[in-house]
Amino acid sequence: MSIRYDESKKTFTLQTKNSTYQMKVSEYGYLLHLYYGDRIEDEDLSYLLKLQDRGFSPCPNEAGNDRTFSLDFLPQEFSTDGNCDYRSGSIEVKNADGSYGFVGKVKGHRIYSGKYKLEGMPSLFGTEGDTVDSLEIRLQDEATLLTVILRYSVFEEKDIITRSTRVVNENPETVYLNRVMSMTMDFMDSDYDFIHLDGRHTMEREVTRIPISYGMQTIGSFRGASSHQHNPFAILCDHGANEDFGRCYGFSFIYSGNFVCKVEKDQYDQTRINMGIHSKHFSYQLKSGEYFEAPEAALAYSGQGLTRLSQLYHNAYRENLCRSPLSAEIRPIVINSWEAAYFDFDDDKLLHIAREAVDMGVELFVLDDGWFGKRDDDCSSLGDWTVNRAKLKKGLKGLSDEIHKMGLKFGLWIEPEMVSEDSDLYRQHPDWCLQTPKRPLARGRYQLVLDLSRKDVCDYIISSINAILDETKIEYVKWDMNRFITESWSSIEEKEKQGEIYHRYILGLYYLMDQIILTHPDILFCGCSGGGGRFDPGMLYYQPQIWCSDNTDAICRLKIQYGTSFAYPISSMESHVSVCPNHQTGRTVPITTRGVTAMDGILGYELDSTKLTTEEKEICRKQIEDYKNFYPLIAKGDYYRLTNPFAFHEYTAWQHVSKDRSRSLVSLVLTDKEANDAQRYLKLKGLKPEARYTVSGMPGLYSGRLLMSAGIPVPGSLLEYEAVQFYVGETGGQS
């Protein structure tokens, strides 16, 4: 069992292969956090708690005249609301009598094998190869009878601990939850950097690293989706931590809506991190006997730097989060019609593009936006999921049949959560979109957001989308979402429950995906929200790959994919070779380089194949062949970031290494060429020191140790935006 309760010491100890997590029930029944870090065997960390008389830090009543026990500085596992703790809290409750406060004391616990499940929300699951144990600790406020159940699951081999919070109202009267964090962690020190992934549309998940300082540093989203602007992921690490060294803590929120992550350095140089649903416009009514379930957070600890931390998430998210049975299979190479044709197409044009792509080795043709209603631009028709016969004379089925005759699979774009004002659906059901009474609606891309908090709306969407998927042979769906929520008011909900709509929207979305995606296990779903506006673990549960960004420029993508790789596996990032000059930046980059960048993800194409030269098509054919050869390393191996594109401008390099360390693919893109520049050496990672390897383009054999310590010379002949790949193979291993 990876979880132990020591009755004499009143400690809970959670053990993963390389980490230990310990908490303690204090003398008055509060649950204190003792430690999370490198694995420690059978030791009691209670000695770390130092009680002191601190001025202006009041103590709970039961401490009597003991002025040393204040929750204002003691490390807590889930903080009280009030009761002397002035730091940012885990919970905020408005009780039945109008008072605020929650004072939770431990009333019991349960340890069991297996993973707990969350109702209606994504969460990690155990597989046959995993040892997973779970712990539930029950905290209750004796005055209000509000109960909080803290849940933990320990994925021992994966070095992952998940947490979630359930709040149960055992009081006969109704209360309101204004904030419920999924996790709180108190550190007794503050020598950390805070790393997070921020950005904007077409430049998502840039890496920001700042030392934590007094007060609060907060990231979050209030857009109704996890957003392009901030990702629900944070790292706290030693100031000196780098890819290979240092203590690093990861916090990943498995949720696709509003979130917040607050890092607070307090007056005594301690740190608190809170992660959960954003409390802005959040007020959850809890009647007697009801409960509220907060989403899951996945925690990881690496004592060996950032690369290892990312690998822990990559392994767990590939194997314990992506539900699709297709997730483990080699993904098809797609060609997508968006940048090839936008809204301007008919059957002939699409079939021509598809036909030309067959010889390149493409396996699946995706028909993007513009195939339904009267949609010739983005002003109309979302919600009217009937084929536009003016464009597709033989209908969707006819097109799909023609595509299949070519030996390709067929994929389709949908945007089920939205409605255009100019649509039959909106004309029939204007109350089906989120809106605020008496206020004119805000517009975003001429579309409105359907009220997914309503079951009737969800059921309508489910039946209309499932009808398309069941009538036509479709093997891939791109599920898009192209505007954020501005009004979170539902026309059928009572006024006391309007503060739940943001969350109920996401529950509705998960219900939709349960009913559309999980009922079609043979269809590969790709997530999208204007590119990477909802690239989060909640979506990965349903959709094993996500369109990383609307920015297809191979040089910009180096940064976007670098940032994304901190939390998400390479197998989750859909990445396409597009035309040059690039449609977003105007930059021209060789097609080989575009292929090298796109191979750092799920490779596909986003261009008009009829306009490629024979030579370009041949390059693409070779790219696909190479990609397939290296797919097991790319999709299932270990990932190493060799350079940081935000700090080093000459080139960006990365490495995929097979789990048995016998093969590696090393990729490098030259990003800023100067004349007569310095000779650089690329020091490889993850190889076996004693093994001997061949390196493509270099004669002879090299030990892993040599390749990792002296490295391989970066070819000086490379020009700006050119790329090179080295294939490294152990002699005697597979070449």
Catalytic residues: 536, 616
Q: How far is the CB of 597 from ligand GLA (least distance, A)?
A: 17
Q: How far is the CB of 110 from ligand GLA (least distance, A)?
A: 45
Q: How far is the CB of 413 from ligand GLA (least distance, A)?
A: 5
Q: In this structure, are residues 561 and 207 in contact, taking their beta carbons and an 8 Å threshold?
A: no
Q: Is 527 in the site for ligand GLA (CB under 6 A)?
A: no
Region near ligand GLA per CB under 6 A, out of 311-319, 326-334, 524-532, 712-720 = 524-532
Q: How far is the CB of 343 from ligand GLA (least distance, A)?
A: 8
User: Interaction with ligand GLA in 449-488: which residues (CB under 6 A)?
Assistant: 480, 482
Q: How far is the CB of 606 from ligand GLA (least distance, A)?
A: 8
Report how far residue 708's alpha carbon sits from residue 713's, in angstroms, rounded to the nearest whole number.
12
Region near ligand GLA per CB under 6 A, out of 396-404, 527-535, 555-563, 650-658 = 527-535
With H, G, I as helix, E, B as strand and everything else as coil, classify residue 70.
Answer: coil
Contacts of 38 (CB under 8 A, 6+ apart): 18, 19, 20, 247, 301, 303
Q: In this structure, are residues 20 and 48 in contact, taking their beta carbons and an 8 Å threshold?
A: no
Phi/psi of residue 619, nearest 5 degrees: -60, -45
Question: Which lies closer to ligand GLA via its Cβ, residue 44 or residue 376?
Answer: 376
Report how far residue 356's alpha carbon sits from residue 335's, in angstroms, rounded to the nearest whole number.
11
User: Interaction with ligand GLA in 77-116: which residues (CB under 6 A)?
Assistant: none
Q: What is the pairing mode between strands 698-703 and 651-657?
A: unpaired
Instruction: Give the interface size with ligand GLA as a residue count (CB under 6 A).
Output: 12
Phi/psi of residue 121, nearest 5 degrees: -135, 150
Region near ligand GLA per CB under 6 A, out of 303-311, 453-461, 511-519, 526-534 = 526-534
Q: How far is the CB of 368 from ligand GLA (least distance, A)?
A: 5
Question: Which lies closer to ligand GLA via its Cβ, residue 60 or residue 373?
Answer: 373
Residue whose Cβ sits closest to ligand GLA:
369
User: Which of 410, 511, 547, 726 touches ligand GLA by CB under 6 A?
Assistant: 547
Q: Is 528 in the site for ligand GLA (CB under 6 A)?
A: yes
User: Which of 126, 295, 530, 563 touches ligand GLA by CB under 6 A?
Assistant: 530
Region near ligand GLA per CB under 6 A, out of 184-192, 431-439, 504-512, 523-531 = 523-531
Q: Is 553 in the site for ligand GLA (CB under 6 A)?
A: no
Q: How far is the CB of 351 from ligand GLA (least distance, A)?
A: 20
User: Interaction with ligand GLA in 406-445: which residues (CB under 6 A)?
Assistant: 413
Phi/psi of residue 616, nearest 5 degrees: -65, -40
Task: List helix spans (H) across 138-278.
Answer: none
User: How far is the CA of 262 from the CAs of 102, 145, 210, 231, 235, in angstroms?
Assistant: 20, 28, 14, 13, 12
Question: Which lies closer to ligand GLA via its Cβ, residue 81 or residue 339?
Answer: 339
Query: Which of 373, 322, 368, 362 lies closest to 344 in space, CA to CA?
Result: 368
Report how far residue 397's alpha carbon sits from residue 279's, in angstroms, rounded to the nearest whole number.
46
User: Which of 89, 126, 383, 531 touches ligand GLA by CB under 6 A?
Assistant: 531
Contacts of 648 (CB under 8 A, 6+ apart): none
User: Interaction with ligand GLA in 177-236: which residues (CB under 6 A)?
Assistant: none
Which stretch of DSSP H or E encloses residue 592? helix 591-598
Question: What Rg, from alpha-carbon coordinates, does the chain have?
Answer: 27
Question: Which lies closer to ligand GLA via its Cβ, residue 194 or residue 535?
Answer: 535
Question: Which lies closer to ligand GLA via its Cβ, residue 130 or residue 550?
Answer: 550
Query: Which of 550, 573, 562 lies closest to 205 in space, CA to CA?
Result: 562
Q: How far is the CB of 482 from ligand GLA (least distance, A)?
A: 5
Contacts of 328 (CB under 8 A, 6+ apart): none
Query: Which of 543, 540, 574, 515 lies closest to 364 in space, CA to CA?
Result: 574
Q: How far is the CB of 334 from ligand GLA (least distance, A)?
A: 12
Task: State both tokens at 16.
Answer: 């993963």
Q: Is 368 in the site for ligand GLA (CB under 6 A)?
A: yes
Q: What is the pairing mode between strands 409-414 and 364-367?
A: parallel
Surface-to-core class of residue 703, CB atoms within 10 Å of its CB (0-12 exposed, 13-18 middle, 19+ buried): middle
With H, G, I as helix, E, B as strand and everything else as coil, classify residue 180.
Answer: strand
Question: Which lies closer to ligand GLA via its Cβ, residue 141 or residue 550?
Answer: 550
Q: In this structure, are residues 337 and 368 in contact, taking their beta carbons and an 8 Å threshold?
A: yes
Q: Is 338 in the site for ligand GLA (CB under 6 A)?
A: yes
Q: Is 369 in the site for ligand GLA (CB under 6 A)?
A: yes
Q: Is 539 in the site for ligand GLA (CB under 6 A)?
A: no
User: Which of 417, 487, 536, 550 touches ligand GLA by CB under 6 A?
Assistant: 550
Which stretch of DSSP H or E encloses residue 302? strand 296-302
Question: Which lies closer to ligand GLA via its Cβ, residue 338 or residue 432?
Answer: 338
Q: In this structure, are residues 271 and 236 in contact, taking their beta carbons and an 8 Å threshold?
A: yes
Region near ligand GLA per CB under 6 A, out of 31-39, 66-74, 489-497, 525-533 = 525-533
Interacting residues with ligand GLA (CB under 6 A): 338, 368-369, 378, 413, 480, 482, 528, 530-531, 547, 550
